[in-house]
Structures are given as structure tokens and as C-alpha cells.
Structure 1
């Protein structure tokens, strides 16, 4: 998937792609982490746009952004201790950088938000206070388009880290397996990548008895990956 051996370019903005191998259909979504909002580097304005993309109104989005900044820590420990707890934030601030997007579920206003939706907007791996527009997900592009001219910090270019979701469906019996992870380019590895963490997969819809793709996996993923998929499916 990474060496460009496929005849089609795999989209890096969470656009779904799929292919067939034997009686299996493999669906995949790849998201360049530079197209997400970094919880530890983004300013309050960019964070609030991220929360707005999840469906929160402007005031709640701004409150969540401030709560996230308060949660990740202050350069002034005494000032941080004086900050009152927010109604949308966690019961207790961490006062240290986010280690995982899943920590957002400690915020009272986000407790019922599906983990996948949070990972579709935020990251802890880009280390940038900017968002790359050319790899932003459709969810983020929509809210950024509506906030045109608002001073959102955007840029271009990849950082070489990606989240990947894969769902396998067997004809006539529905979902056979699914997995998600975040990896980054790592030349020292034989594979050229190393895994950084797990990542939630969108709740798969069971389409038993349906065929969702006629595209061959060689064309999409390249011969090496297609051979792995054929061995798995056999």
C-alpha cells in the first residue's frame, strides 16, 4: 500500500476504497494524520472548529476547546490550579499533553461521542498547530469551508503518519473481521513503517449477501498486498 505499486492512488483523506479477492470484499480507509487537528499543538480556534465538525454549537465548541487546552496543561502551575472546572470538561485536568485521542471521552460533553468520530477529527501525532487541507477529511473540510476567512491555521504537506482501517466481508455471511491502527514511515524497518497505536474502526455495517466491489485488489493495493489478502482469504 505504501510503495505505490498499485495502479490507482489510494486516497489519504478517509475516503473509502474497496476491492475483491475470492469471496471476500476488503474495505479500507486511510487518513493522513496531517489532515487532522493535533490536540497538543492546535490553538483554541482550530480546536473549536474540530468540535464544531462533530455537531456542537459554537459556544459549546469554544468551551470544549478551552477545556482541552486547560486539560493538556499550563505553563503556569499556579494559574492552572486556579482555573475552575468547566461544565463540558473532565472531572480533573491532566496538566500534561494528551497521549491519546481517547482521553477526550473523559470530557463530560464528549462521553457519548463514538470514539471513531473523535479519531476522525483529532490526532496526537501531527505535532503541528496547523491542518493540512489537501488531506483533511470531508467532515473537517465542510466546517472549514463554512469558517472561510476565520483565520484557521491551515497548510499543505504530509508528515508521514497515517491511520488505517480495514474491514473484510465474506459473500453471504457479512463481516469477517476488522482492524484499525496508526503507523508512520520508518525506513529502519524492513516494512518501511512502524505501528504507533491502535485506532477504532467505524461501526461496520453487516451487508450479508451483497457484493460491494468488483475491483481487483492488485489494482488498488499493489501485487504484494493483494497476495497477502489472497492467502488470508483462501
Structure 2
């Protein structure tokens, strides 16, 4: 929580970004729609992001409805703010990526596979449309002006759930789009023969379990209590 409070003090979002966050929060909850709101920040390289801004739908809602639940302030909104703050810090530091700026396209996965896949399809659709527009703009036989300002997604960060990340990876790798997970820990995702374009910044469940066993053996502990929670 201390880190979160520091982020709140540091972060300096523009008015446009603040309005977009509000749209991202208000649109998806309890509504099934394909044109979900998106928060986009321009840059030389665009990073697609899947954050669970909303919780999954209530259990009584049909899976095909693709609805989202309540807003997840600490888990969802905070991650959006940290993402924007981090990109701002990177772009202002010429020692990190000189002459290159990072942008983002943040979409709500709702910690729900059907919504995450829908949003991933939108990443792919935008990439294909951007590629077609670029070809038309460079083809002298094509007439009319083309908007080629919308850049393709370079990679996708998220989603948080291992189950959802596996389904998203199965889709993204068909289009050679790298995926970087920040909290998906399933050991299945370590299989590079199946998930060639998947990377993560957290250890797998297998490595975490092995570390705990090593600690127990190192200190000769004879009794260990484990607290398990199921959070969505």
C-alpha cells in the first residue's frame, strides 16, 4: 500500500487521460458490448495491455453475455495508473530509450476469458487494419487519403490470470505477437513448444514451490502453515 500511495503522489495524468480512465471504468460494468472503451497513449511503439479493471461477472450471468462485474479499484485502476506513470518516466529519461517513445493501448480483461479474448481480437483487428492502411498509402494505384497514424501493437502485457493468459497466448501467437505476463504463474506456460511467444516477469508455480521447500529444508522446520485464498 505504501508504494500505491507514493504512486498517487507522483502520478501526473493529463485531463484527457483522466477522462478516458473514467470511460474505461464506467462502460464495461454490467454491459455486453463489442466496442468497449479503450485508453490509448501515442508513441513510437505501442504496447497493448490487458488489465482487470472490472471483476468477472456474477456467477448467475451467462458466460456468452461477456459482461463484467464491479470496478476493481486497487487491482485494476491502480495498475492503469502505474502503467501510465511508468511510461511517462521512461519517455522522459533519454538514457533508457533514446529517441524512442513508448505508448500504450489499455483494455479491460475483466479477469474473464471471453472478454479477454474479445479484447485480444481487437488488438489483432487493429493491427491488420493498420497494415492494410499502410499498404494502401504506399501504393500509387490507390486513390484517396488514408489515415496511417494508428500504429500496430508491438506486444501485449497481461492478463493477470494464468487460465486467461493461456487462452490469450493461443490467439496472439498465431499472429506472432509477444505476450508478457505480470502475474500468470502456471507452469504450463513454461512450455516453449506450446507457448513460443510467451514471457513473464514472475516465477512459475513450480519454482515458487521449490523455493519454499528449499527454505523449509534449509532451516530444518518441522511444521509449516499455509494460508490459501481464492481472489477474483
User: Would you say same fold, with TM above 0.5?
Assistant: no
Instruction: Write 1 or 2 for the structure with the bigger share of helix.
Output: 2
Q: What is the TM-score with the length of structure 1 in the denominator?
A: 0.21
Higher relative contact order (CA 8 A, sep 6+): 1
